Amino acid sequence: MLAVILWCFLFCFCWPIALLALVLYPIVWLLTLPFRIVGIAVHGVFALLTAMFMLPVRLLRGPRLI
């Protein structure tokens, strides 16, 4: 919601830049999509490695009592 309000202010003060931002936003979103996919994959690998290293600790700790 804040982004829409800021865009409206930008449109009031400098409409050519606001229209350019409106046109370029989908292009920038598409260009950054592969980087976000790689980031999700790297996060998954790090989560898997963390789970593998923490598994012996969790097994040795025993059952958790509430």
The band of 58, judged by pLDDT with boundaries at 50, 70 and 90, is confident
In whole angstroms, what is the distance from residue 24 CA to residue 54 CA? 44
Contacts of 41 (CB under 8 A, 6+ apart): none
Task: Write down the pLDDT at residue 65.
Answer: 78
What digits encode the pLDDT tens for the residues 2-15? 989 999 999 999 99
Judge whether 66 lies within some domain. Answer: no
What digits encode the pLDDT tens for the residues 13-34? 999 999 999 999 999 999 999 9
pTM for the model stands at: 0.61
Judge whether 19 lies within some domain. Answer: yes
Domain count, the chain: 1
Domain assignment of residue 14, given as a range: 2-61
What digits encode the pLDDT tens for the residues 36-57? 999 999 999 999 999 999 998 8
Q: Which of 6, 52, 39, 38 is nearest to 25 (CA)?
A: 6
